[in-house]
Structure 1
């Protein structure tokens, strides 16, 4: 007969065994971490905050204090050189700012993306997020199949046909700015251009008219904001979900992801049905994707999930990066009246008073292109990328064992004196057509085969919107606002870029 005392004895023994096992496992893990330290500690780098946590406490301090983590990377690059080590538990990453290594690892297709970062972006807190989309796919075959599907939707001939949409959506912003000028109220330029760029990507990519400059109750802007916050917490803070105070935030982020993927599934299925029924459908990016996917027989359940992955990718990246670039450009133009005057003179010379900007006009706005490129140098909206080192190698004279991540930050390399003279100065002449081209230290859209598919799309849109603003309006920055950068995974102006708006002398047509 089993007595209570017997059960107590067995429970006590089990507890002892579990504690012993946990202790042995912990010691074994510590020995493993120590082995990793010995393997990579010949590489220079900042002292670890903690034996096990490595530099995680520093990352959390920087994030929680709302500083830009890439400023810390820049500080360490200037102290420890073009290749230095950072630790996180048993993981090791090297931050690389050497142009030759940047060329080697980003231009070659043989180096896959860092599995730690991009597997974390597969889902957010257990909810599928970017999945195996173009940005996150690590398997070359999966990535290449998707790239073939997407390429026709971003061809030069197709992008030329988008000028009408760019003009139309930009005109809606002009109408809103006219109202702001007449009412003499302060314009939050980041908020406004954010609405425009999300309107553009939804119309151009999915044939949906959100009209966010009038539809203030749309849930999508806040959903995107929550997803970006989730990315930062999920990648940088391994303890975020352990604190009860974050439970509500985690749930909000999961609901935001659900909203985007559910919306994407509805729009994709509606378009599929329309195509199957022979209905007239917009010749937009979604139609192009479905058409090419059918030709490649990409119609199973996983292919549908991949379409959703790319829907979320385009939905967020298609508006976030362009909006941030435009906001920073307006901020810098407001801080530099001479540069602003020169940009306005070029716009007036090329466009005059006509409202419709043609594709051929974009090529004539060379100084405006320089302004936008210089903006991305100082404020790369997607500042970093990473690769996985599969074999031992030597980088800038440092022997590097296989099995670690390589981090490349355009923010770091673009703000170093060795890359650009007086790097913190806003100077569009760095990108004058006759100036020397930066040697693998400027890559706001990454480099090589995995560079951003939508970069031409983004820059066409940014140029149309900014040219129209300069053509029609004068703006001045509201005194006293912060010009700091807010790090939300992407980089955006902390203040929103608050401006006073008025008509140009020839601006109101």
Structure 2
């Protein structure tokens, strides 16, 4: 009995000391927060929701309501100006819409991607996701090595050689749309363009035929689940600890495992081919293997590093292009005059031929303008960010070092100080003779960390859209929503419902 009492006494003392330590730590954290507030509160920004959490609860409210959080950022930019402070616990983020500051920071390699965001992409709920791939690598030397190795797979010479695959996969989509038109069925566009872009990236990047339009596959669902999990992982630090979220958290982990196990399978098959001396394409998969630099005896971390890049390209090369195609079809359906003009251009440049050439793409001037205007209103990867460690001045405001700067092409693209009547879809903003936007339009980011695959994506977009416009008339189904879904990337919430009809040339 005496021993039990002694043990209980010890436990009580330990709990008391732990309580004191917790109180001291909490008070210390509050003092640190106060210091951060005093250091940065001269920068304009909205009132904090709370002393401790800053604006974090706003993120949660916007997510739960289904609204696009970037619209809130746009509202704040209009109210508080080109440099707007946002507090997230002890982190300070600045939303920057000042073109001069955008140019200075994004065009330089000395400002790394920020740890706060990109470490949240390393893992999703404890399961490795993008790791240290090309998008997420924060160390400049690590990133530069990867970029240098990957560059040959995105050279203009290599991209020219992809035209056959672009045409072939787009023809598969046209066959599916022909069935839809023959059946006079209402067609949801987004799932179909998701299939074709997934087919393209699997074939040209990894040498695999998925044939998504004819076969079912777990990949689209896995990608969607990972992207949705990514949003919760970034915006809600406590999401995975809520028992009510356990089912979805496990789904995200399994989706990550599926993508990475698929990558391991495809990489091992290619490595075996290389070891046997077989001819292999100089595609992204070969470059991923080359980037590890140890094809014969790799460590576990080398293998994980290769899988990081596999997942990065598998998702980035498919999701954003599909969403851009769907948004473009949606806007053309809402603007028959623009649709008529771009159809005429396709008729003049492509005519009735089935295979579109690389040179044809360069002559589709108005279609290029339509793409740029689509990306202005709907940049499917809307935000990038950088760390600024030293003091600097932005728009006349002294900024102490140690902040994260967010740059949103979505916000800038919808501000009337940069684009007149910004919510109106007007491809003539990007006419060759129109003045170029000055560091306020960057759907593929800017500077050395700009998107490596932007030319790839634009070529794929033009081939698919040109064939669609060449073969079909389409009208949007009445009553559908034109809202945006914020699910990691931006996508049309309703999926874009259309009625398709075969074209009778020249209609």
TM-score, with normalisation over the residues of structure 1? 0.97
Deviation per CA, 1:23-47: give whole Å up to 9, x if none: 1111111111111111110111000
Q: 1:32 aligned to 2:42?
A: no
1:185 is matched with which residue?
Answer: 185
2:171 is matched with which residue?
Answer: 171
Inter-CA distance 409–297: structure 2 relative to 1 (3 Å threshold) = farther
1:136 is matched with which residue?
Answer: 136
Inter-CA distance 104–505: structure 2 relative to 1 (3 Å threshold) = same
Does the Cα contact within 8 Å between 1:127 and 1:258 map onto a contact in 2? yes
Does the Cα contact within 8 Å between 2:289 and 2:295 map onto a contact in 1? no
Deviation per CA, 1:126-178: give whole Å up to 9, x if none: 11110110100000110011011100100000000000000000000000000
Inter-CA distance 283–400: structure 2 relative to 1 (3 Å threshold) = closer
- Aligned pairs for 1:202-351 (under 5 A) are 202-216=202-216, 218-290=217-289, 294=293, 300-351=299-350
> How far, CA to CA, are the matches of 1:94 and 1:138 in structure 2?
19
Any idea what SS the aligned residue of 1:180 has? helix
Q: CA deviation at 1:291?
A: 5.1
Greater mean alpha carbon deviation, residues 400-409 or residues 17-26:
17-26
Does the Cα contact within 8 Å between 2:291 and 2:306 map onto a contact in 1? no
Does the Cα contact within 8 Å between 2:317 and 2:453 map onto a contact in 1? yes
Q: CA deviation at 1:307?
A: 1.7
Any idea what SS the aligned residue of 2:118 has? helix
Inter-CA distance 61–145: structure 2 relative to 1 (3 Å threshold) = same
Does the Cα contact within 8 Å between 2:146 and 2:291 map onto a contact in 1? no
Any idea what SS the aligned residue of 1:230 has? helix
Does the Cα contact within 8 Å between 1:471 and 1:507 map onto a contact in 2? no
> How far, CA to CA, are the matches of 2:143 and 2:273 in structure 1?
27
Deviation per CA, 1:410-443: give whole Å up to 9, x if none: 0011111111111111000000001000000000
Q: CA deviation at 1:73?
A: 0.4
1:154 is matched with which residue?
Answer: 154
Deviation per CA, 1:225-256: give whole Å up to 9, x if none: 00001110000011211211100100000000
1:431 is matched with which residue?
Answer: 430
Deviation per CA, 1:98-145: give whole Å up to 9, x if none: 000100000000000111100111111111110110100000110011
Query: Which residues of structure 1 form unaligned runs of 5+?
Result: none
1:453 is matched with which residue?
Answer: 452
Does the Cα contact within 8 Å between 1:472 and 1:507 map onto a contact in 2? no
Deviation per CA, 1:40-89: give whole Å up to 9, x if none: 10111000001101001111111111111110000000000000101011
Any idea what SS the aligned residue of 1:121 has? helix
> How far, CA to CA, are the matches of 1:195 and 1:296 in structure 2?
32
Deviation per CA, 1:348-401: give whole Å up to 9, x if none: 001111010000000000000000000000000100000001101111111111
1:374 is matched with which residue?
Answer: 373
> How far, CA to CA, are the matches of 1:12 and 1:129 in structure 2?
43
> How far, CA to CA, are the matches of 1:133 and 1:220 in structure 2?
20
Q: CA deviation at 1:6?
A: 2.0
2:94 is matched with which residue?
Answer: 94
Any idea what SS the aligned residue of 2:318 has? helix
Does the Cα contact within 8 Å between 1:153 and 1:289 map onto a contact in 2? no
Q: CA deviation at 1:305?
A: 2.1
Q: 1:56 aligned to 2:93?
A: no
Q: 1:83 aligned to 2:83?
A: yes
Does the Cα contact within 8 Å between 2:163 and 2:357 map onto a contact in 1? yes
1:72 is matched with which residue?
Answer: 72
> How far, CA to CA, are the matches of 1:144 and 1:136 in structure 2?
12
Q: CA deviation at 1:283?
A: 4.5
Number of positions where the alignment pairs a residue of Structure 1 with one of Structure 2: 507
Query: Which residues of structure 2 form unaligned runs of 5+?
Result: none
> How far, CA to CA, are the matches of 1:429 and 1:307 in structure 2?
42
> How far, CA to CA, are the matches of 2:136 and 2:239 in structure 1?
22
> How far, CA to CA, are the matches of 2:294 and 2:459 in structure 1?
29
1:490 is matched with which residue?
Answer: 489
> How far, CA to CA, are the matches of 2:453 and 2:141 in structure 1?
20
> How far, CA to CA, are the matches of 2:293 and 2:55 in structure 1?
47
Q: CA deviation at 1:297?
A: 9.9
> How far, CA to CA, are the matches of 1:276 and 1:141 in structure 2?
29
| CA RMSD of superposed structures (Å) | 1.6
> How far, CA to CA, are the matches of 2:60 and 2:273 in structure 1?
48
2:505 is matched with which residue?
Answer: 506
